[in-house]
Amino acid sequence: MDKELLRIVIIATGLIIIMGMLTWSYLKNKKFREDLDFYDDTEFKGQPENPLALDDDKTDSEPAEAVDHHYYDQEDAIYEPEEDDDIEPPQRVAAPAIIQFSLIAKADEGFNGIDLANAFGIVGLEYGNLKIYERLDANRLVDYGVACMVEPGTFPDSNLGAFYCPGLVFFMQPGALDDAQTVFDDYIETIQILAVELDGMIMDQHRQPLTDAAIQSLRQSL
């Protein structure tokens, strides 16, 4: 796939996946409730029928609220690829077409829009013209995207204080990337930093807590 079409393809795919995600209810004691319901898969309202008709040129806009940028020292990184020779590498699996994880709010009210804008600024995600956040490469092409867990999956660009989101969905398409492992490492680190900043729980595609073993298995497949 031409990488110039990556931004449109992974965003459109990710938004469709979001509609199949859970109906989230919150557990007051910060424990994940196991009886979450999935949304039925439906098309997003208001999205173009032909995503390729979208303008390829990015016209990113800045979130309305000020973003407090800061940087993490190397020692703050939560995930690093395993290099210990004594650890047996996980069994190699086929790389999925889309790698999708989610970040669920522990607080009953969910993630607030101002907190989200600030946290996204910390990790360098940019607000795109499709109203989701994106990781852009040196050529300003999308490596992966972040959407709101509930339809239509978008984030507002104003009145952020009144916006709440129960969870985030992260998605990347490794087959369309030149260096999928490097992007994947950044993808994981970004999710883990946001989990700390926003006080959320990282879940895999099976609604289970994301483990180091699952991370290593996916990385080996790329």
DSSP secondary structure string for all residues of 167-210: EEEEEE-GGG-SSHHHHHHHHHHHHHHHHHHHTEEEE-TTSSB-
Element (H, E) at 103: strand 99-105
Stronger pLDDT, 219 or 77, i.e. the higher one: 219
Q: How far apart are CA 129 and CA 140, in angstroms?
A: 13
Task: Please indicate, yes or no, if residue 89 is contained in any of the structural domains.
Answer: yes
CATH number of residue 125's parent domain:
3.30.1400.10
**47-83 pLDDT, tens digit each:** 444 333 334 444 444 444 433 433 334 344 455 555 5
Task: Please indicate, yes or no, if residue 39 is contained in any of the structural domains.
Answer: no
**Does position 116 have pLDDT exceeding 80, yes or no?**
yes
Neighbours of 73 (CB within 10 A): 6
**165-213 pLDDT, tens digit each:** 999 999 999 999 999 999 999 999 999 999 999 999 999 989 899 999 9
Task: Please indicate, yes or no, if residue 178 is contained in any of the structural domains.
Answer: yes
156 HSE (CA, 13 A, CB side)? 14
The pLDDT of residue 65: 43
**92-106 pLDDT, tens digit each:** 678 889 999 999 999
Task: Please indicate, yes or no, if residue 55 is contained in any of the structural domains.
Answer: no
Task: Please indicate, yes or no, if residue 213 is contained in any of the structural domains.
Answer: yes
Task: Please indicate, yes or no, if residue 51 is contained in any of the structural domains.
Answer: no
Task: Please indicate, yes or no, if residue 41 is contained in any of the structural domains.
Answer: no
Q: How many domains does the chain have?
A: 1
Question: What confidence category does residue 29 fall into, taking pLDDT thresholds of 50, 70 and 90?
Answer: very low
Whether 126 and 145 have beta carbons less than 8 Å apart is answered as no
Task: Please indicate, yes or no, if residue 65 is contained in any of the structural domains.
Answer: yes
| Range(s) of the domain holding residue 11 | 3-29+61-72+84-221
Residue listed under structure tokens 């209810």: 25
Give the ranges where the chain is alpha helix by DSSP (H): 6-18, 113-123, 180-198, 212-221
The pLDDT of residue 42: 39
**126-165 pLDDT, tens digit each:** 999 999 999 999 999 999 999 999 999 999 999 999 999 9
Question: What confidence category does residue 122 fall into, taking pLDDT thresholds of 50, 70 and 90?
Answer: very high
Length of the chain equals 222
**Does position 26 have pLDDT exceeding 80, yes or no?**
no
Question: What confidence category does residue 36 fall into, taking pLDDT thresholds of 50, 70 and 90?
Answer: very low
- Residue 146 tokens, joined: 């972040």
CA gyration radius, the chain: 17
